[in-house]
Chain A
Amino acid sequence: ETGVTQSPTHLIKTRGQQVTLRCSSQSGHNTVSWYQQALGQGPQFIFQYYREEENGRGNFPPRFSGLQFPNYSSELNVNALELDDSALYLCASSSPDRESRGYTFGSGTRLTVV
């Protein structure tokens, strides 16, 4: 099985800009979740996509949006970047058919907003 892959690994953006992060889910997984992890804290749930539809959202403003594609890969878009958006963004995939295996996480994208 191929794991969860995320790109890019690092990027630096200026406040007010927009950014797109990408995630390829693990083979056989049709559910993708995104998490934000600030330094020294546990990850916080942003939203989840199942079969191209958003089916859950955490306490994040609308400028955080996403997409899931027919091949189950996903994008996280953040508009009007703020300094507090600097964090590690993690993508996780899972499958309702394999719930006993839990979630598989990617290596993350480190976003720095200056």
Chain B
Amino acid sequence: KQEVTQIPAALSVPEGENLVLNCSFTDSAIYNLQWFRQDPGKGLTSLLLIQSSQREQTSGRLNASLDKSSGRSTLYIAASQPGDSATYLCAVRPGAAGNKLTFGGGTRVLVKP
């Protein structure tokens, strides 16, 4: 059974500092991994998707890496801003025939001005 863990559950950083968010999963047989952002009481906004054959994906200030063999992914957010304050969730999808996402519990981020 796939289990996804995100540590820490919450962190607070001053504006301008780089953010490093961690995601670990127990079964390395994944199809892809997706990072989402969730604002309080809202739905999920997709940030980055990494296929199992990829090592990283980048979009603007965001960079996500994937080490499938060790069951880890890291989301880097450069030069954090107060608007980056949100909960960040990672989710893994099993092999191509798999049809559900398994989510971590999320990391709640507060960027202080």
State how many residues of chain A have any CB contact under 8 Å with chain B.
30
Q: Which residues of chain B are near A99, meaning CB under 8 Å? A: 31-32, 96
Judge whether B49 and A100 touch: CB under 8 Å: yes
Q: Which residues of chain B are near A92, meaning CB under 8 Å? A: 44, 101
Chain B at the A interface: mostly helix, strand, loop or mixed? Answer: strand
Q: Which residues of chain B are near A55, meaning CB under 8 Å? A: 99
Task: Kindly provide the distance from the CB of B98 to the nearest chain A CB, expressed in whole angstroms.
Answer: 8
Task: Kindly provide the distance from the CB of A58 to the nearest chain B CB, expressed in whole angstroms.
Answer: 7
Asked if B51 CB lies within 8 Å of chain A CBs, one says yes
Which residues does B use to contact A, with CB under 8 Å?
4, 31-32, 34, 36, 41-46, 49, 51, 89, 91, 93, 96, 99-106
Pairs of residues from A and B, 9 with the lowest C-beta to C-beta distance, nearest first = A42-B103, A107-B43, A105-B44, A45-B100, A56-B99, A102-B49, A108-B43, A102-B34, A105-B43
